[in-house]
Amino acid sequence: MPPDEERVTSPFDGFEEDAPRRGWVRGLLWTGVGVLVLGGLYAAAQWYVADKVPSDTTVAGVDVGGLSRTAAAEELSASVGARAAEPVTLSAGDATTTMDPAAAGLTFDADATAAELTAFSLDPVRLWDHVVGGGEQEPVVHVDDAALDAQVEALRGSLETEPVDGTVQFVDGAPTATPAADGTELVADEAARSIEEGWLVTDGPIELETEPVGPDVTQEETDAALAVAQQVVSAPVVVAVSDQSPELPVEVLAGAASFTPTDGDLALAFDGPLLVEAVVERTNDLLTAADDAHFEFSGGVPVITGGEPGTTIDPAAISEAVETAATSTDRTAAVELVQSDPEQSVAALEALGVKEKVSEFSTPLTNNAVRTENLRVGASKVNGQLVLPGETFSLTEALSPITVAGGYRSAGIVENGRHIEGVGGGLSQMATTTYNAAFFAGLEDVEHRQHSYWFSRYPAGREATIYVGALDLKFKNDTPYGVLMQSWVSGGELHVAVWSTKHYEVETSASGRSNVVPPTTVTQSGPDCAPTPAGNPGFTITNYRKVYLDGELVKDEADRWTYKPDNEVVCAP
C-alpha cells in the first residue's frame, strides 16, 4: 500500500484468520430478519382470514363456506338447529326406534360451531383450508352424560331382543321342540358414544352396537329334553296298585307330562292328580271315598256322624313312579294306596261348640195344603245348615232353587202389593220364622225386609219376606261358635231353632201402633184382576232389640216399619 494512502481501520483488524465465521453470523442475522418478516406476513394472513369461514365448508351437510362468523351462526341455527329439535332414529339389528334429543341431553351450539370455524389461529391448517376449502366440519354438541345414559337405559326395551329358551312339549301326543335362540342387548357405553358422535351428521338411523345374550335353556339342553320326551311316549306304562294293573297308554302319558325350565334345564314332571284320575278310570272300585263329618238331628238334638277316612293314591308318589318308568326300559310303576282324610273332621265339628239350643221360634200354618207343602220342602233345606263363625247365612241360597224342579208348587204370594199365585208361595213364612230365630239368638241382622201388609200370624213389624233376586233374609254369625239351623213342620206350626253355645243375652220390646189406616175398597179391572177380601189396617210400629255380652250392651237397635192397609179388591165387570 502506498505510504501516502490513508488506511481505514476495523474493530476486527488483527483477526483475519476468523473471516469465515464472520460470514456465518451475518447469514444467521439475515435469516432471522427473514423469518420475522415471513412470520409477520403469516400472522397478517391469518388475521386477514379470521372471522370468515373457509370456502367449501359444510357442517352437518349445511354449506357455510365464505360466511362471516355471525352469518354462519345464523345459517347453522336456522338449518341445523331445526334438525336438532327433530326425533333421532336409532337402530340395533332389526329393531328401530326414535329418541327425543332434548330428553337425551343433546344440545347443538350454533354460535360455538361458527366461532370454532372463524377464530384466529396460527395453525397452518386453518390457512390451508382457506386456500383449498374447509370440507365437512363437526358441529359443536353439548352432552348431559347422565341424561344420555338414562335415555340409553330406557331404549333397551325397544331395541333389545330377549333370548328364546328352548322348549319341549307334546302336541297331539308327539314330542315337539322349540329351538333356542340368542337375544341381543345394547353395549351401553358404545351406544352413548355412537349417539353422541352420530347425531346431526348421520344420514338415516344411527346404528347402535349390540352383543348376543344366550338363553337359559340352550339348544343342547333342548335336544336332551326332546330325547327324554321321545322315551316317555315310546310305550305304555303299567301301574301296579293294590291287586290291579291298569295300563296308561302313550296319549295319557303325553297329556300328563310337561317340561319346566329349572336352573337352565328342562325338567320333566308328571301331573299327579291327572295320573290318579287316569288310573281310577281304568280300575274297578280301587278307592274308597272319605266320609266328611256332618251334623244330623237324632231325637231332636244334633249329633256328629261320619268322619271316616278313605283311600287314595298320593299324586306325588304316582308322579315319581310313572316318571321313573316312562324314562326307562322297565315300563312298570308300583304305587301304594294311602289313607285320605275327610275334609271335615269330627274334631273340627266338635270344636265349634254346637251343644245347646240358644233360640227357637214358630209361626202357625194356614189351612192351605199346597202352601204347607212348600214350607215342608223349605224346612228340609234349612234343616242342618251350618253357619261357621264369621259367615253370613242367606235364606234364598239355602232354599234354592225355588222352582218346580226344586220341589216347590204354586201358592199365594204378594207381588207389587197384589195377591197372586207364584211358585214357592208361603216361603215368606220361612223367612219370618228364621228371622225371629236369629233375632232372639242375638245374631247380626245383615238384610231383611217386612211385608207391605201385616198378616196377623206374624209379630207386627218383626217379620220378613223374600223375593229371589230382589229381597233376601241374611244374618251373620258374629259369635266364636258354630251356628246349626234346625227346621221342621209339626203341630200346625213351622219351627226354626238355632243350636250353638249361648253367647248373647237378648231383650226385646215394641212400641204401640200409630198412624193406623183402615182398609178400604178399591175397584180394579182387566183380565188379571183377582177379587180379594179386606185384610188388616195399615199402621206404624217400632221394634227394639238390646243385645248383651257378659253384661255389656253391644247392640242397641230400633227397627221402624209402616204397613199399608190391605184393601178389599173388587173387579169391575
pLDDT tens by residue, 487-535:
999 999 999 999 999 999 999 999 999 999 999 988 888 787 878 888 8
Q: Select from 184, 215, 246 the last residue of a domain.
A: 215
- pLDDT 10s digits, 138-192: 899 999 889 988 988 888 888 899 999 999 999 999 999 999 999 999 898 888 8
Q: Please tell me whether residues 519 and 402 are part of one structural domain.
A: yes
Which of the listed residues 349, 374, 391 is the one where a domain comes to its end? 349
Question: Are 270 and 257 contacting, i.e. CB atoms less than 8 angstroms apart?
Answer: yes
Mean pLDDT within 6-32: 55
Handedness of CA 426, 475, 482, 441 (dihedral sign): negative
Residue 7 within a domain = no
Pick 95 or 481 by higher pLDDT. Answer: 481
Q: Which of 183, 215, 247 is the last residue of a domain?
A: 215
Q: Note the pLDDT tens digit of each residue in 547-567.
A: 999 999 999 999 999 999 988
The answer to which of 66-75, 196-205, 214-223, 297-306 has the lowest mean pLDDT is 66-75
CATH number at residue 278: 3.10.20
Judge whether 343 and 312 are in contact, CB under 8 Å.
no
Contact 101, 138 (CB under 8 A): no
Extract the C-alpha cell encoding 434: 228364621
DSSP 8-state code for residue 164:
B
User: What burial class does residue 29 get, using C-beta atoms within 10 Å of its C-beta: 0-12 exposed, 13-18 middle, 19+ buried?
Assistant: exposed
* pLDDT bucket at 12, cuts 50 / 70 / 90: very low
Same domain assignment for residues 371 and 341: no
Pick the closest to residue 452 from 444, 468, 463 (CA basis): 463
Residue 249 falls inside a structural domain: yes
* Model pLDDT, residue 539: 97
Cβ 212 vs Cβ 182: under 8 Å: yes
Mean pLDDT of 422-433: 83
| Residue 348 pLDDT level (bands cut at 50, 70, 90) | very high
How far is Cα 37 from Cα 35, in angstroms, rounded to an integer? 5
The answer to whether 1 and 7 have CB atoms below 8 angstroms apart is yes
Mean pLDDT of 351-360: 97
**Cβ count near 449 (within 10 Å):** 17
Based on the fold, state whether residues 453 and 540 are members of the same structural domain.
yes
What is the radius of gyration, based on Cα positions, of the chain? 51
User: Measured on CA atoms in the order 57, 63, 65, 67, is the torsion positive or negative?
Assistant: negative
Maximum distance among all Cα pairs of the chain, rounded to whole angstroms? 185
Range of the domain at 55: 43-215
Say if residues 322 and 275 touch (Cβ distance below 8 Å): yes
Question: pLDDT averaged over the chain?
Answer: 87
Report pLDDT for 310: 94
Q: Structural domain tally of the chain?
A: 3
Rounded to 10 deg, the angle between the 369-382 and 427-441 helix axes is 40
